[in-house]
Amino acid sequence: MTLRIIGGSSHKQFTKAVCAHLGIEETKSTSVVFSNDNRFLTIDEPVRGDDVFVIQTQAPPVDAHIVELLIYIRALRDASAGRITAVMPYMPYSRSDKKNQPRIAITARLLADLLQSAGANRALIMDMHAPQIQGFFSFPCDHLIGAPDIVRHLKETWNLENYCLVAGDAGAAKMLKHFADGLNLPIAIMDKRRDKNDETVLIKGVIGDVRGKHALIIDDETQSGGTLIKDAEFLLQTAGTLSVDACVIHPALGPRASERLNASPINRIITTDTIPTGEHHLNHHEVVSVTKKFAECIQRIHNDESIKSLNDII
């Protein structure tokens, strides 16, 4: 099967970089929206029997990009593609992963079902919000983690003397292990509660010794920046840390998020490039690209090779 890459409208720069790492051209396609807000899409090259990877991440407008991904997959299936893989650097609705309130939908599971109904044969995702999401798929789902790339970046460019790693909440504690193993730094966990469906949190304290240390907050994503800022303020004002930096895998920034973060006591922010930051301009923002990792993973999947070592911390 011939390897092919198609990029949706959400993150063209990401697709271009993946293709460059693979040394191939993106398969031509056309996606337009009519005046009635309906989308029309064509695959402009033959793909019969080919191994096609469709790259689409969460980016505004999220729902429109989901529909575009589903149409791409269906068009490829109807064009007799041999295998279709949905590549979602950041999976939309991944935070809707459990039924913790009455009469709500587990939307991450719904999206997995929609991908299968459209005709996808497998999925490739980085740093899911919760590990159980991988089990929502009824076909193979490969999971990459961004920690090895960020750990490498930190080792090469930062002075980490007297640093400690701080999990943004209890849910990020497992994720923190990858960083702690790679950097050999002490860890702490923010104790906070979220009682409503908004982005308001209540910080109860911090579990671990952070006094007199430089703190690096680790989390999988940030939206408004509000939680990161409250964590930083608590660490500096109450817990006695010397400074605060932050690292989030997915920069899912909403309106005014960059403005809030730039005015916050957080010194430096590290993210990957799984989501385009667009008009958001963060001060002291360090971007660790994971396009090479995705390219290598796609190549290994195409060649039926193991991807396990891609997640190893070196």
pTM of the full predicted structure? 0.93
Cα separation, 136 vs 199, in Å, equals: 25
Residue type at position 5:
I
Is residue 247 within 8 A of residue 286, CB to CB? The reply is no
CB within 8 Å of 74: residues ≥ 6 apart = 118, 119
Q: What's the confidence (pLDDT) of residue 313?
A: 84
Please state, in angstroms and rounded to a whole number, the distance separating the CA atoms of residues 217 and 295: 28
Topology classification of domain 147-288: Rossmann fold (3.40.50)
> What pLDDT digit, counting tens, does each position of 290-304 carry?
999 999 999 999 999
Q: What is the pLDDT of residue 292?
A: 98
Query: Tokens in use for 283?
Result: 């001060």
Q: What is the mean pLDDT of residues 262-273?
A: 96
pLDDT in tens, 154-210: 999 999 999 999 998 777 778 888 899 999 999 999 987 665 555 566 788 899 999
The answer to whether the bond into 61 is cis (omega within 30° of 0) is yes
Pairing of strands 202-207, 187-193: antiparallel
The CATH number fitting domain 3-145+291-311, selected from 3.40.250.10, 2.60.40.1180, 3.50.50.60, 3.40.50.2020: 3.40.50.2020
Please give the Cα distance from 41 to 30 (Å, whole number). 5
Q: What is the pLDDT of residue 196?
A: 59
| 192 catalytic residue (yes or no) | yes
Select which of 98, 99, 192, 292 is catalytic.
192
Digit-coded pLDDT (tens) for 91-126: 999 989 999 899 999 999 999 999 999 999 999 999
* Residue 61, CA distances (Å) to 58, 65, 72, 106, 282 in order: 8, 6, 17, 20, 21
User: What is the predicted pLDDT for the residue at 116?
Assistant: 97
Fold match flag (3-145+291-311 vs 147-288)? yes
User: Distance (Å, rounded) from C-alpha 208 to C-alpha 188?
Assistant: 4
Q: Which amino acid is at 55?
A: I
Domain parsing of the chain, residue ranges: 3-145+291-311, 147-288
Query: What pLDDT sits at residue 194?
Result: 63
pLDDT of residue 20: 98
pLDDT digits (tens, 9 = 90+) for 8-45: 999 999 999 999 999 999 999 999 999 999 999 999 99
The pLDDT, as a whole number, for residue 191 is 86
Mean pLDDT over the full length of the chain:
93
Confidence of residue 215 (pLDDT cuts 50, 70, 90): very high
Under the banding of pLDDT at 50, 70 and 90, the label for residue 241 is very high
Closest CA to 280 of 266, 259, 301: 259
Q: How many CB atoms lie within 10 A of CB 38?
A: 9
Q: What is the mean pLDDT of residues 202-221?
A: 91
For residue 65, pLDDT over 90 is answered with: yes
Nearest CA to 84 out of 50, 114, 42, 125 is that of: 50
What value does the mean pLDDT take over residues 256-263? 92
Beta-carbon-side half-sphere exposure of residue 53 (alpha carbons within 13 Å):
29
CA distances from 253 to 33, 112, 259, 281 (A): 25, 24, 10, 10
Alpha carbon distance 130, 285 (integer Å)? 26
Question: According to the model, what pLDDT value does residue 226 have?
Answer: 87
DSSP the chain: --EEEEE-SS-HHHHHHHHHHHT-PPPPEEEEE-TTS-EEEEE-S--BT-EEEEE----SSHHHHHHHHHHHHHHHHHTTBSEEEEEESS-TTTT--S--STT---HHHHHHHHHHHHT--EEEEES-SSGGGGGG-SS-EEEE-SHHHHHHHHHHH---TTEEEEESSGGGHHHHHHHHHHHT--EEEEEEE--SSSS--EEEEEES--TTSEEEEEEEE-SSSHHHHHHHHHHHHTS--SEEEEEEEE----TTHHHHHHTSS---EEEESSS--TT---TTEEEE--HHHHHHHHHHHHTT---GGGG---
Average pLDDT over residues 68-90: 98
Query: Could you tell me how far CA 17 lies from the centroid of its own chain?
Result: 16
Per cent of the chain over pLDDT 70 is 97
